[in-house]
Amino acid sequence: MKLGDAIQSDDWKTEKHVPAIEVPDTVTAGEPFMVTVSVGKEIAHPNTTAHHINWIDVYFKPEGDKFLYQVGHFDFSSHGASVQGADTGPVYTHPHATFSMTADGPGTLVAVEHCNIHGLWENSQEVNVT
């Protein structure tokens, strides 16, 4: 088995597990731009002790390059657990992260997320650079 065989994908507007990636339509080479990744943008994903998103990894694959480069890793580690029991805690993290990056040329952002029950899910978004 290969890792890629275990990663699922679908249209993020119809599936609550697929990470949504938001970037500007066009960015300027070498200039910082904002990227937002999230899970549950159109259809809310549960955020409970028993069912939650653990993390999102984001990679960039420059056009014409063979390799992906990791640009971010975001952990979501609080899902309502407490000593009183599941879903009674005072803190919940939500699978949503915004960060800044630069790119020298066009490429593709790839986001992979892990749901503790439904495994790995991915999505990609082209980055147009001028």
Task: Give pLDDT, residue 43.
Answer: 86
Predicted confidence band of residue 56 (pLDDT cuts 50, 70, 90): very high
63 is catalytic: no
User: Which among 79, 113, 114, 115 is annotated as catalytic?
Assistant: 115
51 is catalytic: yes
Number of domain units in the chain: 1
User: Which among 61, 94, 96, 118 is annotated as catalytic?
Assistant: 118
**Pairing of β 53-62 and β 107-115:** antiparallel
User: Which among 13, 51, 113, 122 is annotated as catalytic?
Assistant: 51
Cα–Cα distance for residue pair 28/77, rounded to 1 Å: 34
Mean pLDDT computed over 25-34: 97
CB 13 within 8 A of CB 31: no
Least confident of 1-15, 23-37, 105-119: 1-15
Q: Residue 55: give its domain's CATH number.
A: 2.60.40.730
Cα–Cα distance for residue pair 94/22, rounded to 1 Å: 16
- 119: containing domain: 3-127
Predicted confidence band of residue 7 (pLDDT cuts 50, 70, 90): confident
2 is catalytic: no
Alpha-carbon separation of residue 48 from 3, 9, 53, 84, 99 (angstroms) = 27, 22, 9, 14, 25
Task: Give pLDDT, residue 102.
Answer: 98
89: exposed, middle or buried (Cβ count in 10 Å: 0-12, 13-18, 19+): middle
Residue 8, pLDDT > 90, answer no
User: Which among 2, 13, 16, 22 is annotated as catalytic?
Assistant: 16
Residue 3, pLDDT > 70, answer yes
3-state class of 3 per DSSP? helix
16 is catalytic: yes
User: Which among 45, 52, 79, 114 is annotated as catalytic?
Assistant: 45
pTM tops 0.75: yes
